[in-house]
Amino acid sequence: MHFLVKKGLKQGKKLIGKIENSKIPFLYWIGYFYGIFVLRGILEGFLEHSHRFPRLIHLLIHWPFWNFNFLLTVSFILFFITREKVERVTRCVFLFSFLILLVPIFDFLVSNGKGFILGYAMNFEEVLGVLLSCGGLYGKSIITPGQSLAIWLAVLLIFFYVFIKNNSIKKAIVAVFLFYLAGTFYASFPLGIALLFGLEQSFNHDVATLTILFLLCLAIVQSIIWVYLYNRKIAKAFLKNLRLLRAGHYVGITLLSGLFALYTFPTLSFNLKSLFAALVSIFFAFEFCLVYNNIYDNQIPKSIKKHRYENIGIGLLLFSLFFAGLTNIFAILFLFLAIIVGLYYSVPPFRLKRLGFLNNMIIGFVSALACGIGFLSQVPNINRIPLNAGLTIFVTFSLAANIKDLKDYEKDKKEGIKTLPVLLGKERGLKIVAALTSASFIIAPMLLGFSYLTIIGALFGTLNYLLLNKIKREEATFALYFIFAIIFGACLTLQSSLGNFCINF
């Protein structure tokens, strides 16, 4: 018996080594585990009591990100206990994600084709039932037979993985215990959200929507932690190149256009979920394009492999599209167009940023698309987007975008990019750029019909011209721009349906 156990452990260690050392590309892993999660949703829909195709938002976002978060948490547990490299641990955890397919199949078989309805623990009694039922083996619990089977298979795999790695039964038991606690936490995740927001303790539309939103946010947090544990150099290089001021511009335009929609249609209720999702999606879309801009501008350390840095970009793109999916289909289309234009701006062979001052029209166009996404977050009808607002944003920021050329003067001059400072000279170019950005403070409120804000815009424009000529840094203009945007947003808020504090999810 001792010989068989020893041989089994040896074979298990060899198998784990093969999985951990596999060189499967990042995109293949994403396709594999996301495909597993979606297939699980389809099987669950057809084999549970309802016997119908599930809603797309649950199939493509809710259930995949529940499983993604849970498996990532399990990976962290195993990483901290075994001290194995996080990417090696994660390969093993995600490879065995196919075990979740057993849940709807086994439930269907043991119920003679009737199936079970899977649910969250939505009160404290059900939470205790999950915690104390030993994975569904003892007492009453919402855990189905299929879930119980998957839980105990996972317990065995985790126990032997840790034991093989550390040769410690104590550590293996601790890992199993933490896995069990993590499962209980995720099983009661919507209950915590319902209590946090004072909602009814049942899995209704509002709770489901907020659950999806929080699962996406949690996935972002865990992904950031994972990248940091995987390679600190990549994480630091990415954080160093975030360009938060420029990202803040696109996020701000999206927010203001959402408020403008409520101002234009005062009978609307404020859709907080859609606006938040739009803001996050536009932020990640910008950072995705920036990843490739940094690669082709040679702004990442040479010690970092290009394909590894690109993997961060792929992750940002996926998160951006998933959040846009929480808004509506039109927002996804606008976002997709903005991403394509953003890539054309930075990536060869197009590299439209080489067009000199004309490339600022591209920034104006992308800003107009961000405006459309914000508007669509409140009014999901592409025909109701006011063209004058998009045109105003395009003109305003085609002019204001010249500010970025001050910072890149030496580099643009060396590469022969004909920006205004390069064409006119640094000092003269500075004055022209200051005049154009100052004019932008007046143009936007004037074209949109906010006459009282035009006076304030003139004051900000004058201050911007003076400060920019003295300080000669874009930060001065950005500071004034954000303050003016806050004032503009406050005016929109006071005159829109937000004044009635009518909010829906």
Residues of the chain above pLDDT 90, percent: 64
Q: Which fold has domain 234-504?
A: Farnesyl Diphosphate Synthase (1.10.600)
> Is pLDDT above 90 for 284?
yes
CA dist list (Å): 117 to 127, 147, 290: 17, 11, 44
Region 259-281: mean pLDDT is 91
- Supply the pLDDT for residue 416: 74
CA dist list (Å): 22 to 144, 261, 359: 34, 50, 43
Chain centroid to Cα 443, Å, comes to: 33
> Is pLDDT above 60 for 501?
no
- Supply the pLDDT for residue 500: 46
Q: Where are the domains of the chain?
A: 2-230, 234-504
The larger pLDDT score, comparing residue 221 to residue 357, is at: 221
Tens-digit pLDDT profile for residues 339-367:
999 999 989 888 888 887 778 899 999 99
Tens-digit pLDDT profile for residues 137-153:
887 789 999 999 999 99
503: three-class secondary structure by DSSP: strand
Q: Which residues contact 383 (CB under 8 A, 6 or more apart)?
A: none
Tens-digit pLDDT profile for residues 227-246:
999 999 999 999 988 999 89
Find out whether 422 and 356 touch, Cβ atoms under 8 Å.
Answer: yes
What string of DSSP letters covers 435-449? Answer: HHHHHHHHHHHHHHT
> Is pLDDT above 80 for 60?
yes
Residue 246 zone, left/alpha/beta (φ > 0; ψ -120 to 50; rest): alpha
- Supply the pLDDT for residue 404: 84
pLDDT band for position 498 (50/70/90)?
low
Tens-digit pLDDT profile for residues 240-265:
889 998 999 999 999 999 999 999 88
Closest CA to 308 of 87, 96, 89: 87
> Is pLDDT above 90 for 182?
yes
